[in-house]
C-alpha cells in the first residue's frame, strides 16, 4: 500500500469523478490527455474502458468511476480526461470527469489513515484543500488492472452512444 509516512510536502493533482473530489500524488501522473477513441476488449469488466495506442505503446484505460464502484451517469465526452499514470511497473490511463487543479499539501494534514488503512480500500485518506474535502487515491487498489475479471457487468444501453457526435465518444 502506498502509505504516507514522512512529514514532507507532496503535490497532488485534483480531479472530479461522479461529483466526488479525488486527488492523486502527482509523481504517479505522467500526462493528462484528452479522452480519445479506445479499442474495446470483448468480455472484459465494465470498468475496463479499452486500450489506447500512445506513440506505438498499447496502454489499458479504465473508467475510474466504475472501478471505484460508482455508476457512470453520463456518456463519455471530449470534456473528460485520461490521466496517464505509472505505478510500480504498471502503466494505465484513468478516465476522470474533470481535472480541477494542482495543490501542494503537507502529508501531516492527511486525515482518516486508520479508516482507510487497508489494501482493499480505494483511498489512503482525506485532505481538506481550499475548504473542500478531497479523497487521496490508493493506487494499490487500482493497479494492476485485471482485464480477465469474472465480475462483468453489462452497461446500460442509454450510456452507450453508437453514433458519437463531436462532443461525445462511445465505447
Give 16 or 7, the one with higher predicted confidence: 16
Backbone φ and ψ for 109, nearest 5 degrees, come out as: -85, -5
Report CA 32 to chain centroid distance, whole Å. 11
Cell of 65: 468511476
Grid coordinates 505522467 are at which residue? 30
The three-state secondary structure class of 69 is: coil
Cell of 145: 488492472
Return the CATH number of the domain spanning residue range 9-144: 2.40.50.180
Taking only the tens place, the pLDDT of each residue in 47-97 is: 999 999 999 999 999 999 999 999 888 888 889 999 999 988 889 999 999
Give 164 or 105, the one with higher predicted confidence: 105
The three-state secondary structure class of 139 is: helix
CA distances to 75, 110, 131 from 9, rounded to whole Å, are 36, 11, 18
Amino acid at each position: 500500500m502506498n502509505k504516507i509516512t514522512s512529514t514532507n510536502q507532496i503535490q497532488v493533482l485534483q480531479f472530479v469523478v461522479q461529483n466526488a473530489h479525488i486527488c492523486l500524488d502527482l509523481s504517479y501522473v505522467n500526462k493528462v490527455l484528452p479522452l480519445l477513441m479506445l479499442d474495446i476488449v470483448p468480455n472484459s469488466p465494465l470498468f475496463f474502458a479499452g486500450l489506447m495506442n500512445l506513440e506505438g505503446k498499447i496502454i489499458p484505460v479504465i473508467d475510474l468511476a466504475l472501478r471505484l464502484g460508482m455508476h457512470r451517469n453520463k456518456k463519455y465526452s471530449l470534456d473528460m480526461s485520461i490521466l496517464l499514470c505509472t505505478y510500480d511497473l504498471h502503466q494505465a490511463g484513468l478516465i476522470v470527469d474533470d481535472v480541477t487543479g494542482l495543490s501542494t499539501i503537507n502529508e501531516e494534514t492527511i486525515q482518516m489513515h486508520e479508516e482507510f488503512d487497508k489494501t482493499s480500500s480505494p483511498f489512503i485518506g482525506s485532505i481538506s484543500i481550499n475548504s473542500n474535502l478531497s479523497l487521496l487515491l490508493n493506487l494499490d487498489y487500482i493497479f494492476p488492472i485485471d482485464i480477465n475479471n469474472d465480475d462483468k457487468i453489462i452497461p446500460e444501453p442509454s450510456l452507450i452512444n453508437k453514433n458519437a457526435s463531436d462532443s461525445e465518444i462511445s465505447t
